[in-house]
Every structure is written in structure tokens, then in C-alpha cells.
Amino acid sequence: MLKMNNISKIYRTDLVETHALSGVNLTVDEGEFIAVTGPSGSGKTTFLNITGLLETFEEGEYILDGEDVSQLSDKHLSRLRNEKIGFIFQGFNLIADLNLYDNIEVPLIFRGINQKERKQRIEESLELVGLGSRANHYPAQLSGGQQQRVAIARALAGKPRFLLADEPTGNLDTMMARQVMELLQDINRQGTTLIMVTHDNELAQRAHRNIQILDGQVSDIAKSQLTDLAV
């Protein structure tokens, strides 16, 4: 479970202060699938980055699986992130010079997972996303949808409890977006909590619960209210 109490985030530069998040309260249960919508600049990425322990915050309390993360050292935070969180980005973020196997292996090496275990996880996760026969291929040899499936395999190989996706289908055509979405939903049905930022209301409709971010404030929103306003 994940719980945020009154979380605020301010970005400061020499001239301006941006209140990216203001007083966010949210509880996410184990196994939920939550879609996050909201206009550009409303705080969605900031929210996801704080949720995934990529960014800190100045105010409030964040409890992740029973642990109060506001008090943790950077080292402890990165360990927690590696153990519990998987990320998927709009731009896939694969390394062009590495084949699919090696792309998935890199974060596992960083985590100190032994070679035998790495091999098993890589093969399993590539199989799961339907790319078991492509381990030696390079990202450029794949379609966008396939590349995103590799990124999903890379996240899954970490065995995350929480999968955080920032516009995972934003660079894909409609057909591929649907396929990637079905894969994410399958993963969620197996028990991984899924939090996904999307501009696509049709995809957002598939979530168990929808939240909207407006000017750094988070609120629940009914599916019937998912309109083009979110764009």
C-alpha cells in the first residue's frame, strides 16, 4: 500500500517558485490500477516521480509499504526504489548500442543480482512480453510497440510491486497503444499495482480508479467525467 499525506513540491529557480504539487492526499491499495490524467504542466510527472522515489518533496508524509520515506537517506531510497518500483516512460529509454538481453540486464547488474538469476529473469520477462526469440536484436530493429514491450520486460525483470508508467503509449499508434495497454493490464491482474499517466481517455477508462491533477492538486474523478478537458 502507498499513502501520501499533504505532499507538496516546490521547484525553485532564481526568479520563480513553481508549486508543482500542493497538499496531495492519496491512498493506493495493493493491486490497484490507477490512471492519472490532467493538462500539461499540472504536475503529473512530478507526482509519478515522487511516487517512484525519483524526487523528494518538502512537505508532507509518504508511506510506501509501511515505510515512511520522508526520513530516508538517498542510499536507502535508491535501494527501496530498485526493490519495489518499475518505471516505464513514453520514450522507452532503451540503450541503442545494447541488444534486448543486455538492455534488460543492466539494472539487474546494478542491483547485484547474480548471473544465473539474471538470465532466468531476462528470459522469463522477454517471454512474457512476447519477444522471447528476439533477445539478440537491437532496439532499432523493433517497432515502437515492441520497444515499449522491451521496456516493460526490463521493468518486470526487477520484480516490482509498483509499476509506474508515464504516458507509456504516447509515442505509439492506436493499435500498438492498445496492445501495450493489454499487456500492462495483464501484469496488473497478476497483482502488480499499476499507476499510469495518460492523455488518452479511452485508456484511462480501463483503470479501476481515475485521478485527475489540476494545478498540482489531486482528486478522484468519475469515469463519466473523463472528457477532453483532461487534454
Smallest gap from Cβ 179 to ligand ADP, in A, equals: 19
Of the two residues 105 and 167, which places its CB atom closer to ligand ADP in the complex? Answer: 167
- The correct pick among 33, 34, 44, 196 for binding ligand ADP (CB under 6 A) is 44
Query: Rounded distance, CA 23 to CA 5, Å?
Result: 7
Judged by CB under 6 A, does residue 45 bind ligand ADP? yes
Contact 31, 4 (CB under 8 A): no
Options 62, 129, 167, 169; binder of ligand ADP; rule CB under 6 A = 167
C-alpha cell at 159: 520484480
Residue 146: closest CA among 190, 176, 124 = 176
Nearer to ligand ADP, 13 or 133 (CB): 13
Q: Is 229 a binder of ligand ADP (CB under 6 A)?
A: no
87: nearest Cα among 113, 64, 54: 54
Binding piece for ligand ADP, criterion CB under 6 A, among 42-50, 94-102, 109-117, 131-139: 42-50
Select from 34-42, 58-66, 110-118, 123-131 the region that touches ligand ADP (CB under 6 A): 34-42
109 touches ligand ADP (CB under 6 A): no
Question: How many whole angstroms separate alpha carbon 110 and alpha carbon 107?
Answer: 5
* Phi and psi at residue 15, to the nearest 5°: -105, -30
